């Protein structure tokens, strides 16, 4: 079964939530997909000056962004993974998974980057995997990629594709995700943003290069560095179940956790 997976590369304007959501939807309307992956904090922008701003722009998992995107999922009979600032017991940098049935689940970023440490609480839900009609989806967010345990945790739980909403400012991730896909034999879908945000004396430039990588490490496509865009590819999720490397080596069964303790 071939599944159409798209990554949506946007250029949000800080604080313009409704416009940012609509801009993403306008891109999504141009491509038919079963699963769309949107960037980290795609609805608010990224460069919060202080925690007051992150609190003011945060919303509950079932809030306005979820409602606006759910209209699309119901109309198109599709699924969306997207990043947002989540208002819960505290404020988290989160990603939600939604579909025609509405809200499915949330992931809260475990490895916070740079000033996120003073804006958000670290994630406390681990790395959940969600069963969709066409396959098993795990989520991580941006800087999580630098910790191999993130993708490995999802692979051990059976994820076939890792949805990876991102706001990348360091140059290493697009090439790093080739290794993450290969060492776990999973698909990865990194949705990054473009543009620049200079706020409060902090100037951040985002690198784009959103991509989807196959379990063999092949880059199925990679978008440009500066323009909003959308890319889609047909994926056979069953390829991510093939963990046998040769007749003697199985990727996951060959692990030696007894030897990894510190």
Residues catalogued as catalytic: 40, 109, 142
**DSSP β-ladder status, 79-87 and 35-37:** parallel
Distance CA 82, CA 66 (A): 9
Determine which helix (DSSP H) or strand (DSSP E) holds 2, and give its type and residue range.
Answer: strand 2-9
* Token digits of residue 205: 């430039």
Q: Residue 4, exposed/middle/buried by CB under 10 A (0-12, 13-18, 19+)?
A: middle
Q: Sign of torsion, CA 118 121 126 128? A: negative
243: left (phi over 0), alpha (psi -120 to 50) or beta: alpha
Asked if residues 255 and 245 have their Cβ atoms less than 8 Å apart, the reply is no
| CA atoms of 229 and 7, how far apart (whole Å) | 9
Return the axis-axis angle of helices 17-28 and 64-76, rounded to nearest 10°: 10
**Length, in residues, of the chain:** 262
Place of tokens 């994820």: 159
How many beta carbons lie within 10 A of that of residue 87, not counting itself? 18
Q: Give how far the C-alpha of residue 3 lies from the chain's centroid of Cα atoms, to the nearest Å.
A: 17
């Amino acid at each position: 079964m071939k599944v159409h997976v798209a990554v949506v590369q946007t250029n949000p304007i800080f604080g313009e939530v409704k416009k940012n959501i609509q801009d993403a939807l306008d891109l999504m309307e141009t491509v038919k997909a079963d699963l769309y992956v949107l960037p980290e904090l795609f609805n608010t922008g990224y460069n919060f000056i202080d925690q007051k701003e992150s609190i003011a722009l945060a919303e509950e998992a079932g809030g306005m962004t979820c409602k606006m995107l759910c209209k699309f999922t119901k109309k198109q009979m599709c699924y969306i993974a997207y990043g947002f600032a989540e208002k819960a017991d505290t404020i988290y940098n989160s990603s939600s998974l939604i579909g025609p049935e509405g809200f499915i689940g949330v992931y809260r970023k475990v490895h916070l980057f740079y000033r996120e440490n003073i804006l958000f609480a670290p994630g406390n839900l681990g790395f959940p995997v969600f069963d969709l009609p066409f396959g098993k989806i795990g989520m991580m967010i941006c800087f999580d990629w630098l910790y191999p345990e993130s993708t490995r945790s999802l692979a051990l739980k059976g994820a076939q594709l890792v949805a990876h909403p991102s706001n990348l400012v360091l140059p290493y991730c697009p090439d790093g995700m080739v290794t993450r896909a290969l060492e776990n034999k999973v698909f990865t879908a990194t949705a990054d943003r473009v543009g620049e945000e200079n706020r409060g004396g902090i100037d951040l430039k985002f690198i784009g290069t959103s991509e989807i990588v196959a379990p063999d490490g092949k880059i199925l496509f990679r978008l440009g560095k500066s323009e909003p865009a959308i890319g889609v590819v047909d994926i056979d999720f069953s390829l991510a179940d093939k963990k046998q490397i040769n007749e003697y080596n199985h990727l996951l069964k060959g692990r030696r956790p007894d030897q990894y303790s510190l």
